[in-house]
Amino acid sequence: MAGVALAATFGGASAQGFPDRPITLIVPWAPGGTTDRHLRLLADIVGRELGQPMVVLNQPGASGTLAPGNMARNAKPDGYTLAQFPSAMLRLPHMQKTPWHPLDDFTFVIGLSGYTQAFAVRADSPYRTLDDYIDAARREPGKINYGSSGVGTTCHLLVAEIESNAQVRLNHVPFKGSAELMQALLGGHVMAQCDATAWDKVIGSGEVRLLATFGESRAKRWPAVPTAKELGYDVASSSPYGIVGPKGMDPAVTKKLHDAFRKAMSDPRHVELLEQVDQEPWYRSSEAYAAWARETFAREGALIQRLGLAAK
C-alpha cells in the first residue's frame, strides 16, 4: 500500500508541474493543407492555455503514418511529444507490415474533427460531373488518373470503393500532402483529385470545380455539389482524427492535455476556422477516442479485405 501511495504522490507531482517546457505537436502532412491550418491554430490556443508554447513540427510521409509511428517508437511518454492520428493509421497495418501497432503503441488524448472529402477537377476539365469522369474511365481503362494524399488514406479507399462499385479501373497517383496535390492538379499533372478541404480557397477563385463530396449529406458551404451517395456510389466518410501520444503516458498528464484541447475547441477562432473549411467538431474523450479506434480498426480491416488491398 505504501508503494502505491508513493507512486500516486510522485505521479500527481509530475502532472502538477506539467508542462514546464514547450510541447511538440507533430503534423504528419506538409505545411499549407487543411490539417496544418487546423492544428497550428489549436496549438496556439492550447499553448496559451497551458502556459507553454506548443510547437508544430511538419513531418509528412507514408500517407500521414510515418511521423506518428516514429513518435510511438522513439518519443518518451511524458506528454511533451504529441501527434495527429490520421485514419490511415488504422488502415495501413492491414495493407502492409508496420513496426508499430495502431492501438497498442499509443495513448489516445482527444478526438477533434473530421474532414469534408471531395472529388475535384480543374475548372477547364472536360469532366463536368463525376459520371463524366467515370464514363471516361470505362472508355480508357487505366488511363484516367486522380491524385490523393497517399496510399491508404480515406480518399484512396473512397475512390477504390467507387472503382469497385462502378467496375472501372483508375490510375491512382499518391502525393505527400494536400498542398503538393493541389499544385499537381492546377499544373495539369493529374486529371482529378480526391482530398479534404485544402481546395476551399481555389473553389472561390474559379480554378477548381467540385464534382462530388463524400459526406452523408451535402457540405454546408457547397450545397449545390451532390454527394457521391446521391449519385449512386454507396460511399461516405468524414475521416475523423485527433491527438495521440506514445503509450504509457501518465493519466493525469493525458487529462491535462485533453482538458486544454477540449477548452480550445470552444474558442471562437477555432469555431470560425472549422466553418471556413466545412469541418464539424468531433469531440471524443480519451476513453471514447480509444474505443472508436478499436472499432474502426476492425471495420477497416474488413473493408480492405473486400477491396483486395490486404497484405499478402
Burial class, 204, CB count within 10 angstroms (exposed 0-12 / middle 13-18 / buried 19+): exposed
Tell me the backbone φ, ψ of residue 141, rounded to 5 degrees: -55, 130
Q: Three-state DSSP class for 264?
A: helix
Burial class, 178, CB count within 10 angstroms (exposed 0-12 / middle 13-18 / buried 19+): buried
Q: What average pLDDT does this structure show over 219-224?
A: 88
The pTM of the full predicted model, rounded to 2 decimals, is: 0.81
Mean pLDDT of the chain: 90
Q: What average pLDDT does this structure show over 221-229?
A: 92
CA dist 257 and 82 (Å) reads 10
Q: What average pLDDT does this structure show over 280-287?
A: 96
CA dist 197 and 116 (Å) reads 6
The CATH topology of domain 118-213 is D-Maltodextrin-Binding Protein; domain 2 (3.40.190)
- CA angle, 88 as apex, 86 and 94 as ends, to 5°? 145
Q: What average pLDDT does this structure show over 8-25?
A: 74
Pairing label, strands 81-85, 23-27: parallel
Could you tell me which CATH class the domain 20-114+238-306 is placed in? alpha beta
- Per-residue pLDDT tens digits for 268-282: 999 999 988 888 899
Tell me the backbone φ, ψ of residue 169, rounded to 5 degrees: -125, 120
56 bridge partner residues? 25
Task: Name the nearest CA neighbour of 151 among 205, 216, 86.
Answer: 86
- Per-residue pLDDT tens digits for 115-147: 888 999 999 999 999 999 999 999 998 899 999
Write the secondary structure of 224-249 as one string of H (helix), E (strand) and C (coil). Answer: CCCECCCCCCCCCCCCCEEEEEECCC
Do the domains spanning 20-114+238-306 and 118-213 agree at the CATH topology level?
yes
- The grid coordinates of residue 291 equal 474505443
Please say whether the dihedral angle defined by the alpha carbons of residues 32, 145, 156 and 205, taken in this order, is positive or negative. positive
27 bridge partner residues? 58
pLDDT over 70 for what percent of the chain?
94
Which CA distances in Å does 30 have to 2, 95, 271? 49, 23, 23
* DSSP conformation class of 150: S
Among 65-74, 89-98, 199-208, 295-304, the range scoring the smallest mean pLDDT is 199-208
**Domain ranges in the chain?**
20-114+238-306, 118-213
- Per-residue pLDDT tens digits for 174-214: 988 788 898 999 999 999 999 886 666 777 678 899 999 99
Residue 198 is predicted with a pLDDT of 66
Residue 75 is predicted with a pLDDT of 98
Q: Is the pLDDT of residue 80 over 60?
A: yes
Q: Is the pLDDT of residue 8 over 60?
A: no
